[in-house]
Amino acid sequence: MNRPLYCYAETRRLFDPASIAIVGASPNAASFGARTLANLHGYTGRIHLVNGKYDRIGERPCVAALADIGEVPDCVFIAVPRDAVRPVVEECVRLGVGGVVIFASGFGESEDPAHQQLQRDLVAMTAGTPTRLLGPNCLGSMNAVTGLLATFALIPERMRIEGCRSIGLISQSGALGVGLSQAVELGVSFSHVLTLGNGCDVDVADEIAFLAEDPSCDVIACVFEGTTAPARLLEAGALARRQGKAVVVFKLATGASGAEAALSHTGALAGSAAGYDALFERAGFIPVDHFEALLETAAFFAKAPRAKAAGVAVLTPSGGAGIMAADQAEVHGVPLPQPGPELKALLESHIPEFGAARNPCDVTAQILNNPLSFPACAEAFLKEADIGAIATPYTTAMESSAKRTVALAEMAREHGKMACCYLLTGWLEGPGTKLMELSPHLALFRSTSRCFATLAAWHRWSARLDRGDDIATASLGEAESGAVQRELAAAGTERTLSEGPAKRLLQAAGVPMVDNWLVADADAAVAAAEVLGYPVALKVDTPDLPHKTEAGVLRLNLKDAAAVRDAFAAVMANALKATTAGRIHGVLVQPMIPQGLEIMVGARVDALFGPMIVVGLGGVMVELLKDTAVALAPVDRQGAKALLQRLRGHALLQGFRGSAAIDLDALADTVSRISRLIHQERERIAEIDVNPVICSPSGVIAVDALVVRQG
């Protein structure tokens, strides 16, 4: 589905209708039609009932067909069995209805080809018309602002809390979305709850686009299964960023069994977890790893201003709570700036000598005897330019503690900063929690880890907004592009390029490659080694043996002519065991590169996500440690640095335990060039593997390469 996004105007009649009709209305209280009508008790628009069996249902008139209503409703909710859906949709299209919601199941998610075809027919019917489809296999859509709680599910009587900033919730799974909406009982406000079902027409990207432009929605939260059109999600993400709205996503189906369940559940295509991570990163979405974190994170972003600084101050009456905060801040990379002399002196004037005038700041339980100490210390931290937020634990569920925390939030608001509270009490919904949840400037977390994970995400999101939407240059330079074209042509028709042509291709793209000579005999190998300088490495150059170590066609650290001759004979003998002489281009002789940090840079064209770039610790470590990071290609130098920073072993790049930092600019440039190469040549190149790239303080150089053409 590569069509453009439906804009706000195209889906407004679906999600914000002035009038609706329920086809399949019934006096049977257990029916979908009756249950939907019962949930519309607060709807401010016009409601029409359609069912040829009845003249009236309760106090409302009921007509036989949509054409009998007397107006064209904005949205029609179809509460009839699957086999009766088609004629209703045909009538909706004929009349020009703006939106159609199909409750019935057994369409695209079915294994029956006829039922799958029926779903495709419904989409074809509405294509090019003003009528938009939601579903099938859908629980409905809920607009809490207008009271359009149009679902047959059991739901709270209200979802929006006046005066509170609100979450627009999207869920491909209707049951999960409806279940999350019960958080209104805890003090979480929703502007919308939009379920999706099969998403045969209106999909996740369209719902994000609608909520991005709806003024009643402050943040978007999404329970997400998969997409067949990543480019449309990128477009929706850009729209949300332009509106300054965060999109928080929990991805279902991250494992193989989960992906199979997604296919049978909604017909959604669940791609690789790494690919979705890369997609979310490029879209500017905020992924959460746990379902339980979705609403907490979204509620934070609904309330938080853009971060003024990355530093966080932790103010606690408990030393243990402060230690927990410091641990999690380190895990998630959240800075806890230490107070300077003036701030430290001020803190010490309010804190007993057995407290801690540092960050985390332990004001101790003496705040019970000196209630002014807590706000005084908070005010002092909030005045600091390097502090963007303040966090405090809720160790015991008491109204008095909650009021103190809410007052802290008001103080943070005055400074344009954010306040967070992380619950450590075993009574997670005890006294005061709803009061804090309802505070428009305080984010409540039921986990210290989730608090600091969200703060870290907030800093990244704010930096993304500050940086803007500049996309990396998709192509290489003109001269480099021409050189790449020539090398591809010279490489012949082999699908897997041997190492020599692969290196020349990458060198043409500006990737620094080690010098090597292609030789045909042992004498030439020795002559090459004399020129290049000992020690050298020998490698058989053939497309048939891309993994040279396993095939025995690689020899390293050869220090003299005798060693080169012996190695030449050995690697050629091993090569001829696996392939024929006609498939061997010769033997590559290259100088041994001094030791350095080994990094792997790879690229591939994914069937769903398109060109992707991957980095990791190189050599055999990439398979052993599996420490890799993935992004959609292309990335610019800054994007490449951000990608490298996501490696768990990133500290090695900056110098670790006395080792010198590598030339990060040179490595980032290499990553960027490979990403631009795969993006530019995605129709002709399927995979690139450059492993290792040897990095040092003076630069980087690649010593091995593999390129695979598109099949």
Q: What is the mean pLDDT of residues 655-678?
A: 91
**pLDDT, tens digit, for every residue of 144-180?**
999 999 999 999 999 999 999 999 999 988 999 999 9
Within a domain: residue 398? yes
Section 217-245 average pLDDT: 95
> Which residues have CB under 8 Å from 468's CB, separation 6+?
none
Q: 583 with 657, same domain? A: no
Q: Which residue has the tokens 């057995």?
A: 354
Q: For residue 400, what are the domain limits?
A: 305-467
Among 253, 271, 301, the domain boundary falls at 301
Mean pLDDT of 483-497: 92
Q: Report the CATH number at residue 543.
A: 3.30.1490.20
Is 611 in the same domain as 534?
no
Q: What pLDDT band is residue 695 in, cutting at 50, 70 and 90?
A: very high
59/136 same-domain check: yes
Query: What pLDDT is attached to residue 353?
Result: 81
Kindly state whether residue 244 falls inside one of the protein's structural domains.
Answer: yes
Do 188 and 291 reside in the same domain of the chain?
A: yes
Is the Cβ–Cβ distance between 50 and 23 less than 8 Å?
yes
Is residue 507 in a domain?
no
493 in a domain, yes or no? no
Q: How far apart are CA 532 and CA 568, in angstroms?
A: 16
What are the strands of the beta sheet with 517-519, ordered from one edge?
Answer: 517-519, 586-591, 536-541, 554-558
CB 493 within 8 A of CB 518: no
575 and 641 together in one domain:
no
CA 562 to chain centre: 55
**Which amino acid makes up residue 170?**
I
> Strand 140-143 relative to strand 190-195: parallel, antiparallel, unpaired?
antiparallel
Phi, psi of 629 (to 5 degrees): -135, 145
Specify the residue for token string 């746990």.
Answer: 290
Looking at the structure, tell me whether residues 392 and 407 fall in a common domain: yes
**Same domain flag for 370 and 264:** no
Tell me, what CATH number does 15's domain have?
3.40.50.261
**478: CB partners within 8 A, 6+ apart:** none
Q: Look at residue 480 and tell me if it is in a domain.
A: no
310 and 295 both lie in a single domain: no
Buried-state track 217-254, b at ≥16 Cβ within 10 A, e below 16: bbbbbbbbbbbebbbbbbbbbbbbbeeebbbbbbbbbe
What domain count does the chain have? 4
Are residue 160 and residue 272 in the same domain, yes or no?
yes
Check whether 271 has a pLDDT greater than 60. Answer: no
The pLDDT, as a whole number, for residue 620 is 60
76-85, 272-281, 336-345, 391-400 — which is least confidently predicted? 272-281
Helix (H, G, I), strand (E, B) or coil at 478: helix
Torsion-angle region of residue 434: left (phi > 0), alpha (psi -120 to 50) or beta? alpha
* Contact present, 191 and 218 (Cβ < 8 Å): yes
Taking 90 as the threshold, does the pLDDT of residue 254 lie above it?
no
Measured distance between the N- and C-terminal CA atoms of the chain, rounded to whole angstroms = 24
In this predicted structure, the answer to whether residue 258 has a pLDDT above a threshold of 60 is no
157 plus 238 within the same structural domain: yes
Band (pLDDT 50/70/90 cuts) for residue 354 is confident
pLDDT digit string, tens, across residues 196-216: 999 999 999 999 999 999 999
Pairing of strands 536-541, 586-591: antiparallel
141 with 238, same domain?
yes
Residue 262 pLDDT: 45
Please give the pLDDT value at position 185: 95
Confidence of residue 619 (pLDDT cuts 50, 70, 90): low
Residue 599 is encoded by which pair of tokens? 């990094």
| Residue 295 pLDDT greater than 60, yes or no | yes
pLDDT bin (cut points 50, 70, 90) of residue 467 is confident
Q: For the residues 227-238, what does the mean pLDDT come to?
A: 94
Do the domain assignments include residue 201? Answer: yes
Helices (H), 291-422: 294-303, 319-332, 341-350, 373-382, 399-414
Name the band, by pLDDT with cuts 50, 70 and 90, for residue 230: very high
C-alpha–C-alpha distance, residues 553 and 585, integer Å: 13
Q: Is the pLDDT of residue 603 over 80?
A: yes
Query: Does residue 297 share a domain with residue 309?
Result: no
Closest by CA position to 393, among listed 338, 303, 314, 453: 314
Chain segment 22-71, per-residue pLDDT in tens = 999 999 999 999 999 999 999 999 999 999 999 999 999 999 999 999 99
Task: Show which of 542, 572, 591 is a domain's final residue.
Answer: 591
Name the amino acid, one letter, at 426: G
Residue 426 lies in a domain: yes
Of 337, 410, 422, residue with least CA distance to 375: 410
Answer with the one of 450, 467, 484 that is the final residue of a domain.
467
**Helix (H, G, I), strand (E, B), or coil: what is residue 448?**
helix
For residues 367 and 374, give the distance between their C-alpha atoms in angstroms, rounded to a whole number: 6
Establish if 186 belongs to a structural domain: yes
Q: Are 351 and 364 in contact (CB under 8 A)?
A: yes
| Beta strands per DSSP E along 489-596 | 496-497, 517-519, 536-541, 554-558, 586-591
Q: Average pLDDT over the chain, rounded to whole?
A: 92
DSSP state of 87: H
Type of residue found at 587: V
Q: Which helix (H) or strand (E) holds 191?
A: strand 190-195
